[in-house]
Amino acid sequence: MLFSKKPPAPEVDLEHLPRHIAIIMDGNGRWAKKRHLPRSAGHSAGSETLRRIATQVKKLGIPYLTLYAFSTENWKRAPEEVSAIMDLLRNYLREALRDMDKNQFQISFFGDLSALDPDLQALCDQVGEVSKKYPQCRMNICLNYGGRDEILHAARAFAADCVAGSADPEALTEEEFETYLYSRGVPDPDLIIRPSGEQRLSNFLLWQAAYAEFYYTDILWPDFREADLLAAIGAYQQRKRRFGGV
């Protein structure tokens, strides 16, 4: 694990990029507090960072990007903050639909969308369906998502198939279990980035992160720039990934 306060000038090998980058977009509230602004201003600034970083990921040719947007625990926040986050998400998805042919992302969602307002569920479904024609760069938005909740969801689905006779618990493999996860069909992340100075997973991609490389920086998410992404990739490229071997 690496903690970097100010990343050095990155030297990135464009021939050996991670296939899948996941980001815990943390620090919006602290960014706003430092500026004596409402927390919603931090989330708004963070959404602009998301646009820039997603564009950079696509330009680099990295095919998978997963973003932790709203966790199952985030419902505990003040109702006005939750409402502001959901409104930002609506705006982002409407813009995604409007600019789909220009940006060309395939957008998918990990999480239990049934807890969202019906109009937002419908918008997520529409974006997911329309964007299927752009598989070159897939953006996965974790929404009402928790790693433990995902595993429980998958276990219940597998158990139901066992009861129905379409699955055999004695024959279960990791590969088969992964087909029950929200992330089915998506390779595990190679690199997980967490801005804001915190050094924990916070219930993010618990199954999928088994062999991910972690990169921490104290830069708050709204201040995270393209150079910071390159610094994280550069650090990743210095690691020796053995996957349990020698």
Which residue numbers are catalytic?
Answer: 26, 74
Instruction: Tell which residue, 130, 148, 192, has the closest CA to residue 2.
Output: 192
Instruction: Tell which residue, 113, 181, 176, 184, has the closest CA to residue 152.
Output: 181
DSSP characters for 164-182?
HTS--GGG--HHHHHTTST
**How far is Cα 104 from Cα 89, in angstroms, rounded to an integer?**
18
**How far is Cα 115 from Cα 138, in angstroms, rounded to an integer?**
24
CA dihedral 181, 117, 25, 34 (to 10 degrees): -160
Contact in structure between 241 and 211 (CB atoms under 8 Å): yes
